[in-house]
Structure 1
């Protein structure tokens, strides 16, 4: 008996449906009718030789086999994108100056480097991990070719998605509501710092700055030590820390844009390849 081949279009529909929270929501996104999607998923189950979905009330959920299929579907789509990028960029050489927000240094950045390095070993990378304000300045001065940063002040086409800010701290943080809230903040100017102070002032919650630092690593160390709360996004929070906003009944924070900013209007081929890789990994890993 020959091994069945899972078509990529079926994998794409499966991933889109799961990430959208249902195939009805995914129908418009992928340009298919619900009946067409149902036929695709039935075909996928036939190829798999097992049920991938089960009814849970009115919701169609993944079975254990469906969870496994979803995991492999994501990997297949990522590998396909990597192959496309590698083939289209075969023979491209040069250098790319890449700027990356400190928030992504230990999570998102290694995945970008691994994928890009495999596909384009002949392109030299000059990496700059820095604060968002510094990255925007360097990109404006063309000291960077492409920068990945948080901002609500760039062009819409440079924003990949919006993510909420969050109050981050140690799970057993000791704070009484009649005391000023201890804050761990980057030095000004900082969009996260400004958002935190505005939200607390609007809610009438007293606060004090317990720690300032020029680096995110300093804030994470202070948070692990239980010295207070910082404000970032939940995209790259160390495992020992958590979003404590609901638990401590703190005010809601605004969303912030995840942005990919190119310095040149018409980027050179190596830069265009890096931008493509960065955007693909953002969508697949961060689900935005």
Structure 2
């Protein structure tokens, strides 16, 4: 076995479910993937895969996979420990929630550019459920999202936590005192889209409060939440940190509601443990350092 390339090929075939998908991921041909596997089988004197309608590992292939994972992981650990950061190269696909795009991302991009000039960034801003799906499917390399990614291959590390707040336009004429939820039901309550954990938590809180007539609207855009609140269309529930300018200018005001306690939203940085996760792990550590959670 001259290098780890053949072992990495086996790992990608197993994780992506076939030779064709592995070839696409490794930017080569299916015949080249088959040749690597055949060469490894010849060197070891075993058969790694059972061919059929579905690719499956033989008993020897299953044993090989465990060692392959250990060897590739050890190489990744070595690179993280001793490689020159400036030597990192290639495309890194980052998926990030809109809250973090407004708060963490500018500093992170600046640090990546200074410490890792060879890394090319491709960034997408989306809601947490979509980011989870994209990470597991291999469409992005690293996700910064609310909550975690539930996958046995996923590494989830805490990033930061932001409180939610009730925001409304002064034009609504709400009293300058703590209010009960029932006093807000004249307007829709706008927060994150209905398939997010934040929206589910809000629905549970409103049910517990027992206030009839609460209309919970959803949006994938924080900018939309702020704009509709400024227009007096609704009361928005969103992270206070992304509305600093609106609060400071008086375009929005924070409302204190006595019978519902809003949760903080905890964000994590997640990536999939795989043969080429060295860069993602390095950038995850950098994101945690910037957010103040590194090595806590």
Which residue in 1 is equivalent to 2:4? none
The superposition leaves residues 199-230 of structure 1 with CA deviations (integer Å, 9 ceiling, x where unpaired) of 12211233443754332221121122122222
User: Is there any run of 5+ residues in structure 1 with no aligned partner, and where?
Assistant: 1-83
CA distance in 2, matches of 1:238, 1:162: 16
C-alpha displacement at 1:257, in angstroms? 2.0
Q: Cα gap change, 1:214/1:251 in structure 2, threshold over 3 Å: closer, same or farther?
A: same
Which residue in 2 is equivalent to 1:244? 254
* Pairing partner for 2:136 from 136, 140, 147: 140
CA contact (8 A) 1:183 1:207 kept: no
* Pairing partner for 2:87 from 73, 87, 91: 91
Which residue in 2 is equivalent to 1:272? 281
Which residue in 2 is equivalent to 1:24? none
Map of 1:84-163 to 2, 5 A cutoff? 88-151=84-147, 157-163=156-162
C-alpha displacement at 1:192, in angstroms? 1.9
- Cα RMSD for the two superposed structures: 3.3
CA contact (8 A) 2:132 2:149 kept: no
Which residue in 1 is equivalent to 2:239? 233
C-alpha displacement at 1:127, in angstroms? 0.5
CA contact (8 A) 1:166 1:243 kept: no
C-alpha displacement at 1:148, in angstroms? 0.5
CA contact (8 A) 1:98 1:147 kept: yes
TM-score normalised according to structure 2 size? 0.58
The superposition leaves residues 131-179 of structure 1 with CA deviations (integer Å, 9 ceiling, x where unpaired) of 1111111111121111111116658952234443333333564458456
Residues 153-162 or 185-194, more deviating = 153-162
Count of matched residue positions in the alignment of Structure 1 and Structure 2: 202
Map of 1:1-288 to 2, 5 A cutoff? 88-151=84-147, 157-170=156-169, 173-175=172-174, 177-178=182-183, 180=185, 181-209=187-215, 212-241=218-247, 244=254, 247-265=256-274, 267-283=276-292
Q: Cα gap change, 1:268/1:191 in structure 2, threshold over 3 Å: closer, same or farther?
A: closer
CA distance in 2, matches of 1:113, 1:120: 10
Whose radius of gyration is greater, 1 or 2?
A: 2
TM-score normalised according to structure 1 size? 0.59
C-alpha displacement at 1:119, in angstroms? 1.4
CA distance in 1, matches of 2:115, 2:263: 37
CA distance in 2, matches of 1:179, 1:215: 22
